[in-house]
Amino acid sequence: MAVSFNQEDISFKLKNSIKFKQLLNKLAVSENRKLADINYVFCSDNYLLEINKKYLNHNYFTDVITFDYSENNKISGDIFISIDTINDNAKRFETDSTTELHRVMIHGALHLIGYNDKSNEDKKLMTQKEDFYLNVLDNI
């Protein structure tokens, strides 16, 4: 099992990375999965936009893109997160940047488990799961 935190084209270091790794272990157990390899990559809006164009044929900014390599109940993937959009969304949703970042990091991990956010019903469940795991993180 390896969880890594990296950055591309920005200077960023995740605070409390050990605590977040503990959360991912708890999330995996709670969702009846095993944690394999998750690579978080923190980047700028422009970096993520290029990934969005190149791999998904989408020409718009987003906060997170998840590439899922999970198989046999083992959670594995690359999760790219735009710190620019995280900071903008924190202001928009009237929360702090750290909470917004943690929510999006959890969101990416939930995608690796198989949760989606296409329909309103799926979005509601995803938000409930995010809230649940944010609370777990607060209590680690």
**CATH no. for residue 102?**
3.40.390.30
3-class DSSP state of 113 = helix
pTM of the entire structure? 0.96
3-class DSSP state of 16 = coil
Beta strand residue intervals within the chain, DSSP E: 2-7, 34-43, 64-68, 74-82
What's at 81, amino acid-wise? I
Contact 103, 80 (CB under 8 A): no
- The per-residue pLDDT for 1 is 67
- The per-residue pLDDT for 77 is 98
Q: Looking at the predicted structure, is the pLDDT value of residue 84 above 80?
A: yes
Task: Please count the structural domains in the chain.
Answer: 1
Reading the block at residue 66, the tokens are: 């998840």
Domain with 40, as residue range(s), is 2-138
Residue-wise pLDDT for 3-37, tens only, equals 999 999 999 999 999 999 999 999 999 999 999 99
Reading the block at residue 75, the tokens are: 């959670």
φ/ψ of 70, rounded to 5, equals: -65, 145
In the chain, what percentage of residues exceed pLDDT 90?
A: 99
Beta strand residue intervals within 22-138, DSSP E: 34-43, 64-68, 74-82
Q: How far apart are CA 115 and CA 127, in angstroms?
A: 11
- Only one residue has tokens 């594995």, namely 76
Reading the block at residue 65, the tokens are: 């893109």
